[in-house]
Structure 1
Amino acid sequence: MEQDVYTRTTFLIKKGNIPRKEQESFCHLHKIEITVKPEGRQKGYPSFIDFDQLKGRIHRMRNELEAVILGQEHSPYRNIALKAYETLGKNKARSTMGVMQRFDATLPGYYGPKGASIILRELQKLFINTNYLTKDMTKPQLPLEYMQQVLLPEVGYRLIKQDLTDRQSSNDGRDITQQAMDVMQESTEYGNMMYPDAHEPSAHEDKDDDDGDQDDQSEASFDSSAED
């Protein structure tokens, strides 16, 4: 019987016949196939994300995001930032170390860095380029800082909340909002592995996706075998 690709490649790695960079790439893909994808399916994370539809979904959140900005809607992510400023002071809160301490809370879960890049791009169009977001609105944070640390996770959890609602998977006893926030935090590693960067192909990116305007369709397709 012919050996599978992983067995053959593992043999070549052991023989030292594959450059180190390619070895690392193989190990990364191997982890995705053997560990990340099966665990993601078990937890009900989407097996496919159509990133082309994110722009429309984000823009339709504008009223909700404006309510957050104006203080009309509570934001736990804003509270995290304000607590950091109160505890650390402005300079330390804005330092690289201070930002990294609360970095994980701002990531959009299984949408990964690729999704984060798209979200930030659209948020900039909506609120930065239009001069809507001012220093008075975001202080003590700067507008760009506020966009990255408050609006980005606000969009991330809302996207996941929509996915959960569409999948009708909100019947585990938790409030759907809290469930979405929990999933966003718990699925960060999955997103980092599956969709590492907006400018790199994902682990299973479909090259034949249509580029047409499909904003009204659901963008996340879930594995039917996932456990509720």
Structure 2
Amino acid sequence: MAVLASWVWVLAGCFCAAVAEVSDSSDPYPPLWEDSPEQLSDYMMEDGNYIINPWVYTDRMGMYRILLEETAMYFAKYGPENEQNLLWGLPLQFGWQYQSGRLADPTGMTDCGNELNESLCVSVDSWWADINYYLSVIPFLAAVDSGITGISPNQITILPPPKDQMRFCYNVSDCQSAVPGTMNRWRDFFQYMQLNSSDFDGLLNYLWEAHASSLDYPTSAFGDRTKSWYHSNFLVILTEIQDHYL
């Protein structure tokens, strides 16, 4: 995969440090990319449903990998090997969060993400993990609902975290009720992508609207997590990015 354009990082809301970490790596893909599900059949099945646990790093990364795979045909005209796919910024940011320890339990009350046998655990107590939930599960469900994956939304089961279950949504109908604006914007993006008349600038605009909307609710809803990881610098940088590019 070629070096990704800078606007992908802008959309992902990544720090310059994250870009440097990936650029210096001999592997341009996020950590454990090859160990993550590449297709829905790689997930466990139960009663005809695909079971996805977004509180396991590789399961959540798998949703991104599937989105990249299923949308590749729509970006083929913009560059080879899916390198111009606008969605690359999302798994790269998530991989950076994992690699830097931001998905682990910051309270130290559990081993989630902190011990070798719990290294793939994504902590519900992590502000970063909670915000990213709305940048992974929501886009994935919207893509399924838009027909990108070719299956019914009823065939997807998203597992809840071990606590604070009411702070998240788990299927298309629940998420449509919980964050209707965000679901609509992601659905608009995927539906526009499938139009023959779609162009790169249009895709960029639709994606920015969806990405920004995904941050609106969780950044306010998870205010109780704000003391962890000194995320204030992230919010300052994100605000500056929004002010500059909007």
Q: So what's the TM-score if we normalise by structure 2? A: 0.28
Greater Rg over alpha carbons, structure: 1
